[in-house]
Amino acid sequence: MPKRLLSSRWLPVLGLISLVVLLIACTPEHPQSTFEAAGPVAKSQLNLFWILFWMSLAIFIVVVGALLFTLFRFREKPGTALPFQTHGNRKLEIAWTVAPSLLLIALAVITVQTLFALDSPSQDDPLQVEVIAHQWWFEFYYPEYNVTTANEVNVPVGRDVAFKVDSRDVIHSFWVPKLRGKIDIIPNVTNNTWFSASEPGLYYGQCAEFCGIAHAFMKFRVVAQHEDEFLEWVAGQQAPARFATEGLASEGSLVFNTKGCITCHTVAGPDSAAMRDSRTASFLGGQNLVHAPNLAHFASRGSFAGSMFENTDENLAAWLRDPEGVKPGNRMARLADAFNNPDMALSESDIEALVAYLQSLQ
Amino acid sequence: MVAANELIGGVLAKRPVAPTGVVGWITTIDHKRIGILYGVTAFIFFILGGIEAFLMRIQLASADSSLVSPEVYNQMFTMHGTTMIFLVVMPMGAAFFNFVIPLMIGARDVAFPRLNAFSYWTFLFGAILLNISFLTGGAPNVGWFGYSPLTDNIYSGGSGVDYWILGLQVLGVSSLAAAFNFIVTIVNMRAPGMSMMKLPVFAWMTLIVSFLLVLAFPVLTVAITLLLFDRLFGTTFFDVSAGANPLIWQHFFWAFGHPEVYILILPAMGIVSEVLPVFSKKPLFGYTVVVFSGVLIGFMGWGVWSHHMFTVGLGPIANSAFALITMFIAVPTGIKIFNWIATMWGGSIKFSTPMLFAIGFITMFIIGGLSGVMHAVAPSDTQQSDTYFIVAHLHYVLFGGSIFGLFAGIYYWWPKITGKMMSELLGKVQFWLFFIGMNITFFPMHFLGMDGMPRRIVTYAGESGWEFWNAFSTAGVFLIGLSIVVFIHNVIYTARNGKKAGNDPWDARTLEWSISSPPPEYNFVEIPTVKDKDAFWDEKYSQGPDGRPIPKVQGAAEVAVKEKEHNIHMPTPSYYPVLLSVGITLIAGGLVSHLSVSIIGGILALFAVYSWAFEPATAPDAPASSEKEGAY
């Protein structure tokens, strides 16, 4: 069996596959592409993938090539005698048991090495972030800064970030494809993961474990910033909430308080430790209380509603007008008085005022 | 006691000694008729599961689509997975076990014919119970592996999850009864001379699958019983607020779920191991190795369940262990592939439709196997698990693998089952549509997964960059649908115009081809004596002086034709298997409707078991089989 014949026959296919893969890898509009690794962890996982890919492709070409050759060479031809009734060949069978085993041993070594290498952060003093997953949004808490935020997590470039993940209902999964593979977020099980971003930018994440009706709309973003910008952001989040005292925003503040928004959303500033503890206790006590994103610094975020929408006035108004219509299954549409009690329904002017108010919460 | 039984039985109806028509099918205990019932039912559910898949692909064809609501979409993927696994691939395998195994091993029926009928009816009613949820306010919507605590009452109100639990529970009863039956049949009812190492490979794979079922299904039974108690009676096995660790469910589920994967693929491997030698005119290369690699896969299948859980945070030590075992399961799998290719090497390969499907199986399974090894590498798998990459992988294994293997079996044994040859032209058209459609549908899912698209999402934003390959993938579904239309057309065409098959249209190697097509009720007039593997081939050919086979007699089909003058007493049909199945299903159904239904079901089941126990296998007034001609 001349090897050259095989490889030349498969060269166009090989080229095509590489082309397709490269096309996916190089197109800029792929916010969640694992091919565009933007941090050391994702890079190391991607390297492993490429090793596997080329190895698999080589095996595929050899085995399918052998198969096709056999089919062609031994196709039925008129007038040929019945074939010899060969029952086996021990040497051959030992060979094709040992060869894949050796390959797999090599693979096993790099697998175990990478598993241990990626287990804990490489830096001594990573930034700590707690991730609390809810149906269907992500809450983030920075214990060293006492900052609470939702849907977007800001991190400094080049510094390892250690995430402690926990859930307040069902199982979710924390996944930023460009920075690292998944870690599941499991109630009553505390999981840890870490990554770091090499370049500033927005990195898109999404819940990857089916978690109920709005699973498809449960996203978040990682905002990677230079250290000084990050600290500036932290200071902004730590500042007490602004109170709207005049104009449309102050009307919006009134709507926020009277139409029941305040029941689930905090606007007073970072959540206090006591508030956080009582939420945990009520969840573990089976009370299933719902709390919603802290909005104290809502206007500083680029997106809202499980990071499904860009934070613009139009999107926010559309969301307040018909949350079920734009994000089916969400809890606000089903639980909030404003959308279930006709007496509390939001009028167009209420919505306008609320948008003005929320956008004033820098 | 016998008198009492006759009294009770007599009240309902007289025992059907030689029923015809619908009653004949309902009371049948003939393994061949039961095999046909299994096959037809599984095919109907294949269409249903296909429609569910079609709805999902239509929804995903464009970004931000709202053709299908999230609630309906979630029901679709849950029911698609559950249906294809439990109501299509498993019973389609059971159809072949039923029809083929007794014929292959030279037996007149399975070991427990009435238990066999019971397995089928329980499967049918369990399947109906599962699907009735569509009509009673919503099918299950938690995914086919129903991760706790999403399945709790708090997060999944309504009765969809209850139907899922109870449907699976009833299906489990059916699978266990069938598995025990086939273990006993294969071990005890082989023709004289057919030692275990002369057993056809398909029978070997069936035996392994039966053992896996017996050992694996109870794990699921326990898990769903605990979950049912949580939902109906307020226990707290999976209740997070009572301190439960939801990972317990995952360990339970995958300790069942991974052996289940091999339950789904080994029958197809068995079929392919029968088809390749026949159409290459050579014996299977390395029979012993193929058998033992099947056994090894069965064993190792128990040690890899946590590779479904690489992202749950088990830590690097546990992940390493499961990654390594998973990788090394590729060795026995690879051996099979090499042996299949070696079987064809040096042969005289005829590209009939069953052979095309068998070759299609090998190529698709290579792709699914290689992406399986990729998933075994835990660190890079965390980027692929729960994405469309895994959806691609599992469809290359289950669609490209199991379904292709089963279609090879359908085309291969169709002449034996019906006595007529299917159209080769239509068969080949179906194969190519199926093969191309499957690759257009599932190959792009690898790209989508690597591009970060999670599975089980009802829609995606236009900015995600996923629209092109999703639309491409949906296009493939139309080819698959068209190929199924061609298949159905082929079935109808064959029923009307099919050529008579004769005993042995493929010049095959195993005993089922030595008798008429379709076989008589009693299968073999005289139980054959077996000298070696490929028992029927040895009857037809001897080794010539140059080492090549030469035919022993003119016209191989004549070899086994003998007079049908014997009086053979076969077991008599019975009402009790189907009654017991109804009873068991009512017990389960009552738990989601009204307890009185369960009580009625319980009484019915008790009555059926009691009467069954005292019913003689063969009724004294039953006619001998030679008096009735024709098969079904």
pLDDT in tens, B111-150: 999 999 999 999 999 999 999 999 988 899 999 999 999 9
Closest approach of B282 to chain A, Cα-based (Å): 5
Which of A74, A101, A202, A331 is the mutation pick for testing B, counting most B CBs within 10 A? Answer: A74
Say whether B319 and A114 touch across the interface (CB within 8 A): no
Proportion of chain B above pLDDT 70, given as a percent? 94
Q: Are A293 and A168 in contact (CB under 8 A)?
A: no
> Which residues in chain B have Cβ-Cβ distances shorter than 8 Å to A192?
313
Q: Does B347 contact chain A (CB < 8 Å)?
A: yes
pTM: 0.93
Contact A170 B381 (CB under 8 A): no
CA distance to partner chain B, nearest, from residue A131 (Å): 15
Per-residue pLDDT, B218: 96
- Closest in B155, B323, B331 to A169, CB measured: B155
By CA distance, what is A55's nearest residue in B? B370
Q: Are A352 and A318 in contact (CB under 8 A)?
A: no
Question: For B393-444, what is each residue's pLDDT tens digit?
Answer: 999 999 999 999 999 999 999 999 999 999 999 999 999 999 999 999 999 9
- Rounded distance between C-alpha atoms, residue B117 and residue B580, angstroms: 10
What is the CB neighbour count within 10 angstroms for residue A164?
16
Give residue B13's pLDDT band: very low, low, confident or very high (50, 70, 90).
low
| CA torsion angle B159 B165 B168 B174 (round to 10) | -100
Whether pLDDT at B185 is above 90: yes
Q: Name the residue among B241, B376, B461 with its Cβ closest to that of A285.
A: B241
CB-CB neighbors (< 8 A) of B546 in chain A: 81
CA distance A190 to chain B (A): 9
The dihedrals phi and psi of B167, each to the nearest 5 degrees, come to: -60, -45
Class of domain A247-359 (CATH, top level): mainly beta
Measure A10 CA to nearest chain B CA, in Å.
Answer: 15
Residue A214 and residue A136: Cα distance in Å, rounded? 6
Above 90 in pLDDT, residue B275? Answer: yes
Could B543 and A59 be called an inter-chain contact, meaning their C-beta atoms sit closer than 8 Å?
Answer: no
- Residue in B closest to A206 by C-alpha: B454
How far is B228 from B590, CA to CA, in rounded Å?
13
Catalytic residue set of B: 80, 109, 144, 174-175, 258, 260, 262, 273, 307-308, 333, 336, 455
CB atoms within 10 A of CB A3: 9
- Please answer whether residues B223 and B246 qualify as being in contact, where contact means their C-beta atoms are separated by less than 8 angstroms: no
**Is the model's pLDDT at B7 over the cut of 60?**
no
Closest CB from A59, A186, A308 relative to B247: A186
Q: Quick one: residue A288, left, alpha or beta (phi over 0 = left, psi -120 to 50 = alpha)?
A: left
Rg (CA), chain B: 25
Interchain pair A33, B456: CB under 8 A: no
Among candidate residues B616, B577, B566, the one with its CA nearest the CA of residue B31? B577
**Residue A223 DSSP SS3:** strand
Residue A193 — φ and ψ, nearest 5°?
A: -150, 175
Sorting pLDDT into bands at 50, 70 and 90, what band is B631? very low
Minimum distance, in Å, between the CA of residue A207 and any CA atom of chain B: 8
Q: Which of B281, B285, B463 sits opposite A88 (nearest CB)?
A: B285
**Cβ atoms B400, B367 nearer than 8 A:** yes
Strand partners, A138: A133
**Cβ of residue B556 closer than 8 Å to a chain A Cβ:** no
Interface of B with A in 466-485 (CB under 8 A): none
H or E segment and range at residue A203: strand A201-206
| Phi, psi dihedral angles at A164 (to 5 degrees) | -110, 120
**Contacts B346 to A, Cβ<8 Å:** 74, 83-84, 86
Low-confidence ranges of chain A (pLDDT < 70): 1-28, 288
Cβ contact A85–B543 (<8 Å): yes
pLDDT of B155 > 60? The answer is yes
Of B141, B142, B289, the CB nearest to A93: B289
- Chain B residue numbers with beta carbons less than 8 Å from the beta carbon of A116 are 316, 320
Cβ contact B143–A119 (<8 Å): no
State the best of A64, A112, A191, A290 to mutate against chain B, taking most chain B CBs within 10 Å. Answer: A112
State whether A85 and B549 contact (CB < 8 Å): yes
List the structure tokens of A262. 């305040």
Q: Is B283 on the interface with A (CB under 8 A)?
A: yes
Domains assigned to chain B = 31-520+527-561 (1.20.210.10)
| pLDDT score of A28 | 54
Q: How near does any CA of chain B get to the CA of A188, in Å?
A: 6
Cβ-defined contact of A70 to B320 (cutoff 8 Å): no
Residues of B in contact with A188 (CB under 8 A): 240, 243-246
Whether the predicted pLDDT of B314 surpasses 60:
yes
Q: Could B348 and A175 be called an inter-chain contact, meaning their C-beta atoms sit closer than 8 Å?
A: no
| Nearest residue in chain B measured CA to CA from A90 | B286
Instruction: Tell me which residue in B285, B319, B351 faces A86 most closely, judged by beta carbons.
Output: B285
Check whether the bond before A40 is cis (ω within 30° of 0). no
Q: What DSSP element (H or E) covers B441? A: helix B424-450
User: By mean pLDDT, which of A346-360, B7-21, B37-51 is the weakest?
Assistant: B7-21
Q: How many helices and strands (H and E) does chain B possess?
A: 21, 2
Q: Would you call B197 an interface residue with chain A, using a CB distance cutoff of 8 Å?
A: no
The predicted pLDDT at position A15 comes to 64
CB nearest A74 (choices: B141, B347, B374): B347
CB contact under 8 A, A104 and B330: yes
Mean pLDDT of B13-22: 75
Sign of the Cα pseudo-torsion (B408, B409, B413, B414, in order): negative
Contact B285 A83 (CB under 8 A): no
Q: Does B245 touch chain A (CB under 8 A)?
A: yes
**Cβ distance of A171 and B246 shorter than 8 Å:** yes
CB contact under 8 A, A30 and B363: no
Residues 499-538 of B with CB under 8 A from A: none
Quick check: B476 pLDDT over 80?
yes
Which has the closest alpha carbon to A102: B393, B334, B249? Answer: B334
B-chain CB neighbours of A182 within 8 Å are 311, 382-383, 385-386
What's the ipTM? Answer: 0.91
Number of Cβ pairs < 8 A linking chain A and chain B: 295
CA distance A220 to B30: 59
Query: In this predicted structure, what is the pLDDT of residue B585?
Result: 96
